[in-house]
Amino acid sequence: MRIEQLEYIAAVTQYGSLRRASEQLHISQPALSEAITKLERELGVTLLDRRRAGARISREGQELLHSMADVLEAVDRLRLAAGDQNAGVSSVRVGTVHAGTSTVLLPTLRRFADEHPRTSVEVRTMVQEDIYLALAEGTIDIGLVNLLDGDDLPPTVEGTVLLHGQPIVVLPAGHPFASRDEITVDELRGEPFVGMRSGYLMYRFAHRVFGRDLPHHWHATDGAEMGKMMVGEGLGLTLLPDYSVVGDPRETGGHITVRPLAGDRSRVTMVAVRRHNARTTSGARSLLDLLAETAARAQPSRTQPSRTQPSAGS
């Protein structure tokens, strides 16, 4: 067994295919595949599920990922102690539905970059179910998701509650409804609407609010950030968690504003999730701690971030 074989498995897991991993590692795809096959024969397990769509870490591979990561981290510490200038360089991969980007994620990334200059962060926009799948497969380290009251985390993940909030109506600052104290569902239904694409929590919430009588003009997009941009350009109104809008530069700069949805008492929670009972790298642990600290400052009057366990009933 060679150290580079473990590095190859880690790269395929990170990049999602043999082709992309070979490009990043600067070796040929056949050589990469052969090295992994030799490791599989030595360990007596199938580490990758090889399909036409690409190679993904197998269930057996997922169980061994963390032991491999322990070995690679120990080797990295050894190289660092020996004076290898390239050692100690690592990365943390974050999947997000664009929850609390301006209020929590970006301030956290700024602090993390200052405190961990040798660790990079890769941020991916993903729908919620893909975040859970990526955590299980080891292709991301941390996920940022939203939950409505009554939602459970799947048993494969555990989470840290970061922020509590409520869904609100987001509209252009110059919209006639900006003079209202609140906006009714019927008023919102009569306006062009910017909805989240299927797979986002706010897609589900909007359909709960409107029922079968949807707005006639419905634009769809991925995530809160594009939704806020579309609202700012006058393409419609939208529904988002308050913590994804209040304090955003578009809101503080007077391009968009927010109003309560009349009669709605729904609660929404921003949660940082990771794989259940998984080994967490030092970089990922530090980023999780900073996310919790930033969230506590962003919402000082609310409950401090707390640990939540997965529910078997999800």
Higher pLDDT, 252 or 86: 252
Among 283, 305, 279, which residue's Cα sits nearest to residue 292?
Answer: 305
Percent of the chain residues topping a pLDDT of 90: 53
pLDDT tens-digit map of 182-201: 999 999 999 999 999 999 99
Whether residue 111 is contained in a domain is answered as: no
Gap between the Cα atoms of 94 and 295, Å rounded = 16
Whether residue 289 is contained in a domain is answered as: no
Gap between the Cα atoms of 143 and 131, Å rounded = 6
Does 308 score more than 50 pLDDT?
no
Gap between the Cα atoms of 134 and 139, Å rounded = 5
Whether residue 235 is contained in a domain is answered as: yes
Residue count of the chain, please give it.
314
Does 312 score more than 70 pLDDT?
no
Whether residue 160 is contained in a domain is answered as: no
- Long-range contacts at 69-75 (CB < 8 A, ≥ 24 apart): 69/10, 69/279, 69/281, 70/279, 71/3, 71/6, 72/3, 72/6, 72/7, 72/10, 73/281, 73/282, 75/3
Q: What is the mean pLDDT of the chain?
A: 86
pLDDT tens-digit map of 100-130: 898 999 999 999 999 988 889 999 999 999 9
Does 53 score more than 90 pLDDT?
no
What are φ and ψ of residue 140, in 5° steps? Answer: -135, 160
Write down the pLDDT at residue 71: 82
Gap between the Cα atoms of 258 and 263, Å rounded = 15
For residue 219, list its beta bridge partners: 194
Among 239, 241, 208, 245, which residue's Cα sits nearest to residue 221?
Answer: 239
Whether residue 256 is contained in a domain is answered as: yes
Whether residue 152 is contained in a domain is answered as: no
The residues, ordered by sequence, that sit 6+ positions from 61 with a Cβ below 8 Å of its Cβ are: 9, 13, 45, 46, 47, 48
| pLDDT tier for residue 11 given thresholds of 50, 70 and 90 | confident
Among the candidates 88, 118, 152, a domain finishes at 88
Total domains present in the chain? 2
Among the candidates 44, 65, 88, a domain finishes at 88
| pLDDT tier for residue 13 given thresholds of 50, 70 and 90 | confident
Which CATH number covers residue 253?
3.40.190.10
Which CATH number covers residue 17?
1.10.10.10
The amino acid at residue 232 is G
Domain, as residue range, for 22: 1-88
| pLDDT tier for residue 83 given thresholds of 50, 70 and 90 | low
HSE-CB at 185 with a 13 A cutoff on CA atoms is: 13
Among the candidates 71, 88, 105, a domain finishes at 88
Percent of the chain residues topping a pLDDT of 70: 91
